Amino acid sequence: MLDWMNWTPPVAIFFASIVAILMAMTVWEIVSPCTERKGFLPIATTRGDRLFIGLLSAAYIHLAFLAVSEVSLWIALAVSVLWLLILLRWG
């Protein structure tokens, strides 16, 4: 059935993790609703805003690693996850 979309395992894992993150965030939001607050980012953000900023910057971090270096992308992933956690906690 998914043949027409030319699925590959890495892409499937990628989208599955995005869905998992969204679901986890939904559950977290239901268990303890968040309020908008101001951290080190120049604007007041909610948890969802910070997740969006984190994911978008993760995409750019990966692209930057690809564009200027030959380093393994696992390092880019580690940097992105770290940055996402910092953003969610103190952003």
Partner 1 sequence: MRKVPDNRAWWLVLPVLLLVALSALVPLMTVVNYSVQDIFGPGNAYFVGTEWFRDVLRDERLQESLLRQFGFSAAVLAIEIPLGIGVALMMPRSGVKASLCLILLAIPLLIPWNVVGTIWQIFARGDIGLFGWGLNELGLDYNYTGNPMDAWLTVLLMDVWHWTPLVALLCYSGLRAIPDAFYQAAEIDRASRWAVFRYIQLPRLRNVLVIAVLLRFMDSFMIYTEPFVLTGGGPGSSTTFLSQTLTTLAVGQFDLGRAAAFSLVYFLIVLLVSWLFFTAITHMDRDR
Give contact residues for partner 1 (rule: CB under 8 A): 3, 5-8, 10-11, 14-15, 29, 33, 35-36, 43-44, 46, 52, 56, 59-60, 63, 66-67, 73
For residues 15 and 90, which CB has a smaller minimum distance to partner 1 in the complex? 15
Query: CB under 8 Å to 35, separation ≥6 — which residues?
Result: 46
For residues 3 and 89, which CB has a smaller minimum distance to partner 1 in the complex? 3
| Smallest distance from partner 1 to CB 89, Å | 19
Burial 42-66, CB ≥16 within 10 A → b, else e: eeebebebbbebbeebbeebeeebe
Minimal CA–CA distance to 51: which of 81, 76, 84, 73? 84
| Smallest distance from partner 1 to CB 23, Å | 15
| Smallest distance from partner 1 to CB 66, Å | 5
